[in-house]
Structures are given as structure tokens and as C-alpha cells.
Structure 1
Amino acid sequence: MVGIIIASHGEFANGILQSGSMIFGEQENVKAVTLKPSEGPDDIKGKLEAAIASFENQDEILFLVDLWGGTPFNQVNNLFEAHKDKWAIVAGLNLPMLIEAYASRMSMDNARDIAAHIQETAIEGVKVRPEELQKKAPSTKSKNAGAAAGKPGKLEYVLARIDSRLLHGQVATGWTKATNPTRIIVVSDSVAKDELRTTMIKQAAPSGVKAHVVPIDQMIKLSKDDKHFGGQRALLLFETPQDALRAIEGGVPLKTLNVGSMSHSVGKVQPNKVLAFDQDDIDTFAKLKSDGVTFDVRKVPTDSKDDMDEILKKAETQLQKQK
């Protein structure tokens, strides 16, 4: 696996490393190197050399640096000269760039290829409101969302997820990179009636992917359409397990549900950090299981899977204690 070193002035490298872990999960072979106000070039050079030495494979290293021409970049560049046939440097670090680098390591095994690939994502990550101020950048990704639209065939479901936060960073980056959908579809009667939430969801879609918000009955109809969705890969988001059950029993052909987040509210118990249940939720999961649905309990693709049966048992025990 390609090693990644994040280098910056101040604590930026540590902060963006933490942000990337929150969204894409903890990563191996990644180090943050910082230049503190009281330090100089030799200090950060020593830190860079120590970070490099910590990698088992030192042949393929990608350096993500905050500022071209700054001290962190200059010290990286000095080290790079002896390895420029293998190593690569990208300056102008932002969070979309880092997440794309993480995702790219899954399929690319050399630093130079990853460096070339992540530049477009970094540029497209810069967005402006009001929209008329946004400068249009050339993009090849934007062609993907409309590819094969209108061709005969049904939707292919690459992921169906229960997440009370719906379309947020972990979905827009980690899960989108892992499943490569052409469309993200939020399936919810309540959100479909909320113009503001619908607008925000559409604006949060990652580059090259179209986002939609549809009522549950409309999703059931779309799932039966075999004339217009050939080649379309759908990532479905449900706000609650009840919405997912209604869609599945209405005919949406889902065999697995990824369970990512269920927010806490009055009357619910929380058997782990991200999932909260009341009795109706527990009963709904039992019904889904009886319908042949399996559960993939993970926040991000790199997490290990949790046991849904054990989680539900803990929730039932906690609810009994509340009575």
C-alpha cells in the first residue's frame, strides 16, 4: 500500500488527518508532520525522515502538503529528489483530496498514479455560493452520472443504507467511493415534503453523482421500471428502518441493509455510539430479518462489521430496565 505523509504549517496536518479518519475510517501507513512556530527547516526535515522510516514500504510514498513553496514543501522536495521516479508530491491539500487519496490506494499501488488522479477531485472540492460565482472547471467525472440514462433495464442497487443523517460526509465520500453509484436516492416521505432539506441534499452530492429525494411509493414504482434505468447504479438512503421496511415490502428488491446511524431521541436506548432504538425499531428489524434481509452494521467501508443480533439484544435489555 502506498504510504501517505501529510505535511503542514501548524496543526493543520493533524486536524485534517483526524477529519479524514472521521469520514473514511482509520488508515494505516499515514503520518502527519507539522512545523510548529518555534521550529525551523531542520526540525521538520527530521520529522519527515522519521515518518518515512516508520513505513514498512518506503518505495511508494505520496506527500500531501499544504502550501507550494513553504518550508514543509521545500523539505519534502529536498528528500523527493533522490526518489522522484517513485515518490510524488501534491500541494494545496484539502479534505476532498485526502479522502480521494485514501480511496485510490484501494486500487492503485503507486504514488505517481494517485497524485495524478486526485488533482481533479481537489479542484472540484472548491465550491462557492451563490452559485453564479462558481467558476466552471473541466471535468470528466460529470459525464458519469448521465451515462446510460434512458436505456432499457432496471436500477442496480449498489448500497441501501439506514442513516438518520442521510447524505453527509461518510456517505458522500467513503461509501460513494466504495460503491461507485451514478445516483444517490434519499427515500423519505417527510424529506420529500421539505423543500429546504431536499435542496441541501442535492447540493451535498459528490461530483459526478446525481442526488434525488423521492417519496417511498415513488421509489417502489421506480424499482419496477425496466425501461429507463439500464446502467444506472443507485445508492439508497433511508432515514429510518420503518421507511426501509415499507419500501422492501412494497417491492424494492433489497437483500442487505447497511446500518450506519440512528439518532437518539426521548424514549430510545443507545447500545452503541451511533445506533439508538425504541421498541418499534427493534420490532421493525425483526420483521426485516424475517423477510430475508441481512444487516451490514458499519459507519464507513473500512470499519469491521458489528453483529446486529447482539446490538438488538443489548437494546432490548436496556428497554426492559427503563420500564
Structure 2
Amino acid sequence: MVGIILASHGEFAKGILQSGTMIFGEQENVKAITLMPSEGPDDLKAKMKEAIASFDKQDEVLFLVDLWGGTPFNQANSLFEEHKDKWAIVAGLNLPMLIEAYGLRLSNESAHEIAASILTSAKEGIKVKPETLEPVTGVASQASAQQSNAGAPGSFEYVLARIDSRLLHGQVATAWTKAMQPTRIIVVSDDVARDKLRKNLITQAAPPGVKAHVVPVDHMIKLAKDDQHFGGQRAMLLFENPEDVLRAVEGGVPLKTINVGSMAHSLGKVQPNKVLAFNQVDIDTFNKLKKAGLNFDVRKVPNDSKGNMDEILKKAQEELAKLK
């Protein structure tokens, strides 16, 4: 796996490393290197060498630095000179750039190729409100047009169906979108469909080139039965709870696997692990989904190891029994 060095003036590199972990999960072979006021260039270079020496694979290294021409860049560049054929440096470090690099290195062993690919995400992550302040380039509209085949004969291809009480947030908009390559993200929820504020926030949170929609469960059932207008469309469905999933499946939405990512704790629920909380209705609903032939993929982000849903439900049932 390509090693990544995050380098900055001050604590910025450590902060963005923490942000990346919150969104994409813990990462191996990634180090944050900081230049503090009391340190000089040689100190920074020594830190970089030590970090690289700790990587499992040292022949492919990607430096993401804060500022072109600054000390972190200059010291990375001095190391880079002897490894031009394999290593790469990208300046202007931002979070979209880092998340894109994390996603790419899951299937790409070349620092050069990752460096070239993350430039677009880094630039597209820079947006402004009001939108009238944006320069008119047409890039976003072109990307949407390329990925949208609305009106073509055929049905949706369901690339992911996920239960997540937070719905469309950072882990979904970056890690899962990168892994599954949807053309549409569809939040399926009666409650959210009635809430104009939440609905607007979700549609605005869609990553570049992907359309986001919010629909009630019954409407999703109708869309799933339409085989005339959604050919070529790769749909990612997001549900707040398993009950809505069951309604959708019983109504004819052809799902085979449910990714279980997050279920928030509330009064009357037990929490058998860090991110999933259940009441008796939730447990009964998952059992019904299992009887209907659905599989469960218990992961927050794509590179997490999968949890055992049977064991999680068993533990939840035992904890609920103790409350009675």
C-alpha cells in the first residue's frame, strides 16, 4: 500500500489526519509531520525519514504538503530527488484530497497515479455560497451530464443499500461513494421527505457528479418498479432504520444485501457495539429481513472488517432482557 506523509507548518497535518480518520477510518502507513516554531528544516527532514522508515512499503510514497515552496515542501522535495520514478509530492493539502488518496490506494499501488488522480477532487472540494460567486466553468454540469442517463430504458442497479441514522454524511459522501461509484444517492425516508430543511441539506451535500434525492418509502417502491427510465443509473439507497428497509423490500425493492453502518442510541435502546443501538422492534425487523433472504454487511467504511450480525443481534437481545 502506498505510504502517505502529511506535512505542514504547525499542527495542521495532525488535525487533518484526525479528520480523515473520522471519515475514512484508521489508516496504516500514514504519518503526520509537523514543523513547529522551535524547529528547523533539518528537524523536519529527520522526522520525514523516520516516518518513511516505519512504512511497510518504502518504494511508493506520496507527500501531501500544505504549501508549495514552504519548508515542508522543500524538505520533501530534497528526499524526492532520489526517488523521482516512484515518489510524488502534491501541495495544497485539503480534506477532499486526503480522502480521495485514501480511497485510491485501496486498489492502486502507484504514488504517481494517485497524485495525478487526486488533483480533481482537491479542486472540486473548493466551493462557495452564494453560488453566484463561483466562476462559470461548466465543469460540474459536464460531470453530472456524463454520469446521468435519465430516461434510458431499464431499472436501477443497486450498488449499495445502507442503514445509517446520519444518512448522507462524510463517510458516505467520500468513502462509500468512491468505492461504489453511484450516479444517484437516494435517501428513503418518510420523515426526511416531509422535512424541507433536512431535505435541502441532503441534496446539497451530494459529492460532485452525483445527484442526491429524498423520497418517501412508497415512492421508492414505485421507482423500483419503473423499468423504462433508469437504465444505466447506479443507485445508492440510504435508510435511517431497518423498519423502512423492511417496508421497501416487502413492497418490491429488489435488495439482496444491507450495509449496516450506524444506528443512533436513544431511550429504550441497548448498544452492543460502538455504533449500533437496538430496541426490540429493531431486532425483530432484522430477523424478518434475514428470513426474507437478505444478507447483512456490518461496516462503517469500506475498508473496515465486517461484523457478525447474528452475534450482534444476540448480544442486543441479551442486554434488552436484562432491562426487563
TM-score (norm 2): 0.96
Are the structure 2 counterparts of residues 162 and 318 from structure 1 closer, same or farther at C-alpha, using a change threshold of 3 Å?
same
CA distance in 1, matches of 2:109, 2:227: 39
Q: Say if 1:144 and 1:209, in contact at 8 Å, map to a contact too.
A: no
CA distance in 2, matches of 1:136, 1:321: 61
The aligned amino acid for 2:182 is: P
In structure 2, the residue matched to 1:61 is: 61
**What is the CA distance between 1:106 and its match in structure 2?**
2.4
**What is the CA distance between 1:136 and its match in structure 2?**
4.2
Q: Say if 1:52 and 1:58, in contact at 8 Å, map to a contact too.
A: yes
**What is the CA distance between 1:105 and its match in structure 2?**
1.1
* Structure 1 segment 15-30 matched on structure 2, within 5 A: 15-30=15-30
CA distance in 2, matches of 1:58, 1:321: 52
CA distance in 2, matches of 1:136, 1:296: 42
In structure 2, the residue matched to 1:76 is: 76
Deviations 1:48-100 (A, max 9, x none): 11112222322221100011111111111111122222211100101100010
**What is the CA distance between 1:296 and its match in structure 2?**
0.6
The aligned amino acid for 1:142 is: S
What percentage of aligned pairs have identical amino acids? 73
**What is the CA distance between 1:29 and its match in structure 2?**
1.7
In structure 2, the residue matched to 1:87 is: 87
In structure 2, the residue matched to 1:167 is: 168
Q: Say if 1:186 and 1:237, in contact at 8 Å, map to a contact too.
A: yes
Deviations 1:145-193 (A, max 9, x none): 31x3211111000000000000000100111111010000000111011
CA distance in 2, matches of 1:39, 1:71: 11
Gaps of 5+ in 1: none
* Structure 1 segment 112-191 matched on structure 2, within 5 A: 112-137=112-137, 138=139, 141-146=143-148, 148-191=149-192
Gaps of 5+ in 2: none
In structure 2, the residue matched to 1:287 is: 288
The number of residues matched between the two structures is 322
In structure 1, the residue matched to 2:232 is: 231
CA distance in 2, matches of 1:31, 1:179: 27
> What SS class does the counterpart of residue 147 from structure 2 fall into?
coil
CA distance in 1, matches of 2:317, 2:309: 12
Are the structure 2 counterparts of residues 35 and 256 from structure 1 closer, same or farther at C-alpha, using a change threshold of 3 Å?
same
Q: Say if 1:87 and 1:112, in contact at 8 Å, map to a contact too.
A: yes
Q: Say if 1:182 and 1:232, in contact at 8 Å, map to a contact too.
A: yes
**What is the CA distance between 1:313 and its match in structure 2?**
1.2
CA distance in 2, matches of 1:132, 1:95: 24
Matched, 1:312 2:313: yes
> What SS class does the counterpart of residue 303 from structure 2 fall into?
coil
> What SS class does the counterpart of residue 207 from structure 1 fall into?
coil
Over aligned residues, Cα RMSD in angstroms?
1.3
Q: Say if 1:145 and 1:210, in contact at 8 Å, map to a contact too.
A: no
Deviations 1:255-310 (A, max 9, x none): 11000111111111111111111111111111111111111111001111111111
